[in-house]
Amino acid sequence: MKVFVTDGYARAALAVTRSLGSKGHQVFVGSESKRSLASSSKYCHLGVSYPNPAEEPEAFVDFLIDTVERYGIEVLMPVTDVCLLLVSKHRARFPTTCTLPIADDAAINAAADKNHILELAKSIGMPVPQSLVINSSDGVEQGLSGAGLKYPVVLKPVRSRVKSSSGWISTAVDYAADRSELLEKLEAYVPEVYPVILQQRISGVGSGAFYCFNDGKCIAKFAHSRLREKPPSGGVSVLRESRLIDPKVDEYSQKLLTALGWHGVAMVEFKIDEATGDAYIMEINGRYWGSLQLAIDAGVDFPEILLSMVSADDPKHPPEYKTGVKTRWFWGDMDLLLMYLLKKSEALKLPEQHPGRLRAILSILLPWSRGQRFEVLRFKDMGPWFYETKKWINTNLLNRLD
């Protein structure tokens, strides 16, 4: 089967390419440059460069349609948010011979709205963090008091990617320890970023539940625990371990995705309160996730399962997987190491349950642990490792010397 994978720079795109290419599918990889992390894999049939989807959305969509027709692409898999939103919005323009195994546009946009997900979660009885939605910094102190929020608070723009007149803006979760810091950060936002959610900070470990749905039916699921995150205050996982899905988390996640009428893959993110053990919904990402390789290593091959939906041969029951499997994103871990070495503790905003800077550094320096595999480094497919290593050295070492 001919499959086109977008966002070749993403680790998820590499995981998809390796999964499908190793099974004999012809995988075409697109990115802003012809050479990318995923196209460096021996399992990539052809790497192509396309217009930047964030800066030239119409040209990007036109390119995809032309590429689908030229190469006879049978399945198109968008990997990141911008590509997913654009493909979904323009799906009627693609040839009917090309399958888009993604949810409909309404469901995708609903999932991308963090406030909508919080309200949906509350409606089905899920615990959610104490929250306040604001449209500007005006009157924020009174709003915090009325919502029962105390410092430190979490700042969370409703959408992770925001379209502005100058292009797409990437937003991120942030923290404020006091009033002055909160106002400073709120006033730094451009108007398009609002509304912003101010939220109770939950101290505890992050946990993700991952799914593949076929027209509202769960056909695959997986879970992992984040053992290390970059930055340490909460972010992308650099070391994670497969585990059984908590029954309550699974129940809530499936209720949310069913209520959205989901189709395709999705990640539901939670924070486990260390004091109470409650799982608090954070957000839903309606696309492949960065740690996809761990699920494949543990036995849930989401890209292949997604293709099985196209051939109407999806599994009757969600496949079982091994627990205790770990994957480590090495160069992401090195980024984390540099943070610990170069930043002050105040800047790191370490959570209360953090083991401490020295212990964290020592754990990163430990080269290997039981059950662990490296995410990008695979001896049967070394191209992506060389590509990422060169890029990391250029970005983090050579640029510092200039």
Q: What is the CATH number for 166?
A: 3.30.1490
Last residue of a domain, one of 181, 200, 219: 200
pLDDT tens for each residue of 25-47: 999 999 999 999 999 999 999 99
- Residue 400's pLDDT is 53
Residue 267, domain extent: 102-129+203-402
**Total domain count for the chain?**
3
Distance CA 278, CA 273 (A): 5
- Residue 311's pLDDT is 80
pLDDT at 185 over 80: yes
| Mean pLDDT of the chain, nearest integer | 91
Q: Are strands 236-242 and 326-328 parallel, antiparallel or unpaired?
A: antiparallel
- Residue 161's pLDDT is 83
- Residue 233's pLDDT is 79
- Does residue 213 share a domain with residue 178? no
pLDDT at 335 over 50: yes
- Residue 353's pLDDT is 67
Distance CA 22, CA 44 (A): 9
- Does residue 263 share a domain with residue 339? yes
- Residue 328's pLDDT is 97
**Tokens 């119409």, residue?**
58
Q: pLDDT category, 398, cuts 50, 70, 90?
A: low
Last residue of a domain, one of 147, 166, 200: 200
Share of the chain above pLDDT 90, in %: 65
Q: Are strands 372-374 and 326-328 parallel, antiparallel or unpaired?
A: parallel
- Residue 402's pLDDT is 46
Burial class (CB in 10 A: 0-12, 13-18, 19+), 121: buried
Which CATH number do you get for residue 379? 3.30.470.20
Last residue of a domain, one of 153, 181, 200: 200
Question: What average pLDDT score do residues 187-206 get?
Answer: 87
Strand order in the sheet with 196-200: 131-134, 196-200, 153-157, 174-176
- Does residue 68 share a domain with residue 193? no
- Does residue 229 share a domain with residue 168? no
Distance CA 229, CA 24 (A): 34
- Does residue 109 share a domain with residue 221? yes
Question: What average pLDDT score do residues 318-328 get?
Answer: 94
- Does residue 328 share a domain with residue 294? yes
- Does residue 308 share a domain with residue 219? yes
Question: What average pLDDT score do residues 245-254 get?
Answer: 90
- Does residue 31 share a domain with residue 7? yes
Give the range among 53-62, 204-213, 282-291 with minimum mean pLDDT: 204-213
Select from 68, 70, 360 the least CA-distant residue to 230.
360
- Does residue 355 share a domain with residue 258? yes
- Does residue 96 share a domain with residue 13? yes
Q: pLDDT category, 53, cuts 50, 70, 90?
A: very high
108's tokens:
């995708």
- Does residue 360 share a domain with residue 293? yes
Q: Are 202 and 216 in contact (CB under 8 A)?
A: no
- Residue 371's pLDDT is 84
- Does residue 360 share a domain with residue 311? yes
Distance CA 116, CA 158 (A): 9
